[in-house]
Amino acid sequence: MSRPVVITCAITGAFGTKDRNPALPVTPEEISASALEAAAAGAAVVHIHVRDPQTQAPSMDLALYRETVERIRARNTQVILNLTCGSGARFVPGAPDPRSPGEGTTLSTPAERVAHVEALRPEIASLDVGSMNFGEHVFVNTPAHLREMAGRMRAAGAKPEIEVFDLGHIALAKKLIAEGHLDAPPLFQICLGIPYGAPATPQTLMAMQAQLQADAIWSGFGIAAQQFPMVAMVAALGGHVRVGLEDNLYLSKGQLAPGNGALVDRAATILDLTGHSVATPDEAREIFGLPA
């Protein structure tokens, strides 16, 4: 059935680098410009990480978030801001003592992981539910930390986007909802293809979508070559979609994406060809249950 579908654009993430795609935004100026480009192409939501401008490494620096948000809001007050809280969850066991943090560990307190949300008060903040092997490090999100982060998001007026990477994460999210730490209707993001989470296949997507509670609002995405196939599949199953350079650096096989706008434009074309419309920011606010 034809309906408005919300496009979220994940602008930069934490892993890609300019040597892999020169269009990947790194500085607050680049990230904000790319977010505005994505919004102009049809993204109602922009999902924001920030980077150290010198090293391109992921950062939790409040000043970088503030500059990025202020640059976006100075030129577009309608696009919905979704700030990541996934940073600060990485643990790498040290050697020879695996109980000590090794190089690359960013493990932080819940307060540190949500400080930029409390300061900048976006409409949405991502809440990564569940721990997992994430490539070669461990992504740590304990239930106690999630409860505190959810409470801080609620106090800041940000709706948690519940990111789930496997079936067990949905079970934990349902427990947090039942306990009253997450408000109904919940907003889920089904994340597929991340090593070593759930694979980006139709079977996995359908299995995870089937476990969501009846009133759940949901979006989903696949990374790399599965980004655009998952746009069509997620929309067909009744979800909303996500694209962006965080998840995929290519427009097609062998062709680097020239920017986030091109990825959003391709997603919008897929939605149009499958009989859906692209939701405006106002429609997205209504769909996601956000204040007008």
The reported pTM is: 0.97
Asked if the model's pLDDT at residue 214 lies above 90, the reply is: yes
Asked if the model's pLDDT at residue 138 lies above 80, the reply is: yes
* pLDDT value at residue 135: 84
Instruction: Please indicate whether residue 135 or residue 177 has the higher confidence score (pLDDT).
Output: 177
Radius of gyration of the chain (CA): 18
> With contact defined as beta carbons under 8 Å apart, do 130 and 169 qualify?
yes
Structural domains of the chain, count:
1
- Residue 83: name the closest of 75, 73, 94, 74 by CA: 73
Report the number of secondary-structure helices (H) and strands (E) in the chain.
Answer: 9, 17
Mean pLDDT, range 184-204, rounded to an integer = 96
pLDDT-based confidence at 170, cuts 50/70/90? Answer: very high
Domain that holds residue 180: 4-288
DSSP 166-187: SHHHHHHHHHHHHTTSSPSSPE
Q: Which residues contact 243 (CB under 8 A, 6 or more apart)?
A: 7, 8, 9, 10, 221, 227, 228, 231, 260, 263, 264, 266, 267
Asked if the model's pLDDT at residue 1 lies above 80, the reply is: no
Between strands 80-83 and 124-128, the pairing is: parallel
* pLDDT value at residue 286: 97
Mean pLDDT, range 186-203, rounded to an integer = 97
Please give the backbone phi and psi of residue 3, each rounded to the nearest 5 degrees, phi first.
Answer: -160, 160
Mean pLDDT, range 222-235, rounded to an integer = 98
Asked if the model's pLDDT at residue 174 lies above 80, the reply is: yes
Q: Which residues contact 275 (CB under 8 A, 6 or more apart)?
A: 2
Asked if the model's pLDDT at residue 11 lies above 70, the reply is: yes
Q: Which two tokens stand for residue 266?
A: 């391709």
Asked if the model's pLDDT at residue 176 lies above 90, the reply is: yes
| Cα 80 to Cα 78: distance, rounded to the nearest angstrom | 6
CATH at 124: 3.20.20.70
| Cα 226 to Cα 222: distance, rounded to the nearest angstrom | 5
* pLDDT value at residue 79: 98
Average pLDDT, the chain: 97
* pLDDT value at residue 292: 83
| Cα 267 to Cα 229: distance, rounded to the nearest angstrom | 10
| 31-63: pLDDT as tens digits | 999 999 999 999 999 999 999 999 999 999 999
Q: What percent of the chain has pLDDT over 90?
A: 97
Instruction: Please indicate whether residue 275 or residue 136 has the higher confidence score (pLDDT).
Output: 275
| Cα 148 to Cα 61: distance, rounded to the nearest angstrom | 20
Q: Cα angle at 193 between 34 and 3, to 5 degrees? A: 65
Around 110, how many Cα atoms within 13 Å sit in the side-chain half-sphere? 16
